[in-house]
Structure 1
């Protein structure tokens, strides 16, 4: 199946797509220490500080949610910030607890932990309505956030959306294999998304994740939803995005399949498609308002 490419292109978009779509953030010195430009930290009572980058601008803003074990400095996140700058729209990207530059211990994190991070950033840092853009696990968190904060969520763009995926993938294992992991207390998941070639999650992580599963019933989300997925995704099958599309109550839902797309969706043409999709949504939302 060929990819659906949105041809509409607003003024300034072509400039944002130049040079591989990735902007170069110039370093600076703070108190004699070399730091990347724009990184900030926000404190929370009794919780780890979260690192983020924010560009102020018009509404709706764009808020990027990275995947499991990923961070706010990937190709997609930087391309979205460049794009938002080119159009004068606000952009927010951040690292979950235990990820990237944020405080906390990665192995102690849960879906609930990272959902709280997203809601905190929506409530305390994001200004005005947002288009949430979630990659992989970020797509799952994006949906949870939209359910919890419908007034702040104007549209959703899922990239290789991994809704419920840890739980459903574990339950689909052969009984004997599942029992072996349960006895060991951890599950090793093969992946091509990191250098190690696998993720390891605890059974406690999986049990906690069950509390946040959403594909077993209609998903109460009414805003526009766009789901981009690669047919070559070997981590999260594309039919997960189809399941999300079938269960979301919104009347405005599109699924865009990339014939050669893989899980990370980080090739130049993949990122162009994601940016075009967001650009189209911004145009739609600003025309409506």
Structure 2
């Protein structure tokens, strides 16, 4: 594993990253909410990239991992801006983007606003528009009132400390929805989804499959896989999907 480096963005944020130089087309990993670039999926992909001599980039959004800022100060717009800044500064040419959970949403924002950056797309339990559809629309009035009046609400999480959802995260999310209008992606897309995922359920994946327009969009369901999607079989499925996209890119 290489030494962590840092990118100063035009927005004044300091992003931690690790890049492996190799042959192109390169692969970029976009992690999920409150995850970091040392997670199992990112590290598995880097090991695969090193074995295959493929250029690879992983990084931490602001407020995540080793990057600057506090998680509770961030929002979808900031993290999408971080992703675009990292890709613009640290890669050349179109990339295969691998987006996990929230990273799937951010990858779809890239497909919408910067399609020139994409050679292909692999999503893992993609969670587009989750601030609106996964939080706000299913919350009771008490939670809605708390977040709007107090500025944040704490949600229990099986992944560690409570998840703090802020008013800014909710309101900014509405400015970055991708399911409210047609979205066409003309590069190969492979969507991966576990049937036992209780955080992003199969109906989300099926809805996204129906929503996307493009010549080569496929969804693969993995029986009994959960949201982590990180056991050996799931990790092998991810690299197979990346290789398939690279072959068609």
Q: Is the 8 A contact 1:220 1:249 kept in 2?
A: yes
Q: Distance in 2 between matches of 1:126 and 1:80?
A: 17
Q: Residue in 1 aligned with 2:190?
A: 226
Q: Residue in 2 aligned with 1:29?
A: none
1:261 CA drift (Å) = 0.8
Query: Which of residues 134, 137, 147 in structure 2 aligns to 1:171?
Result: 137
The equivalences for 1:15-30 within 5 A come to 25=1
Q: CA RMSD in A?
A: 1.6
Query: Which of residues 12, 15, 20 in structure 2 aligns to 1:50?
Result: 15
1:189 CA drift (Å) = 3.0
Q: Is the 8 A contact 1:128 1:152 kept in 2?
A: yes
SS in structure 2 opposite 1:119?
helix
**1:143 pairs with 2:108:** yes
Return the index of the structure with the highest Cα Rg.
Answer: 1
Q: Residue in 2 aligned with 1:200?
A: 164
Q: Residue in 2 aligned with 1:276?
A: 240
**1:40 pairs with 2:33:** no
TM-score by length of 1: 0.81
The change in CA–CA distance for 1:103 and 1:185 in structure 2 (over 3 A counts) is closer
- Runs (5+) with no aligned partner, structure 2: none
1:205 CA drift (Å) = 1.5
Q: Distance in 2 between matches of 1:183 and 1:95?
A: 30
Q: Residue in 1 aligned with 2:98?
A: 133
Q: Residue in 2 aligned with 1:186?
A: 152
Aligned residues: 248
Which aligned segments of 4 or more residues in structure 1 are displaced greater than 6 angstroms?
Answer: none
Q: Is the 8 A contact 2:186 2:215 kept in 1?
A: yes
1:116 CA drift (Å) = 0.5
Q: Is the 8 A contact 2:147 2:166 kept in 1?
A: no
- Runs (5+) with no aligned partner, structure 1: 1-24, 26-36
Query: Which of residues 82, 86, 106 in structure 1 aligns to 2:47?
Result: 82
Q: Residue in 2 aligned with 1:16?
A: none
Query: Which of residues 120, 130, 134 in structure 2 aligns to 1:155?
Result: 120
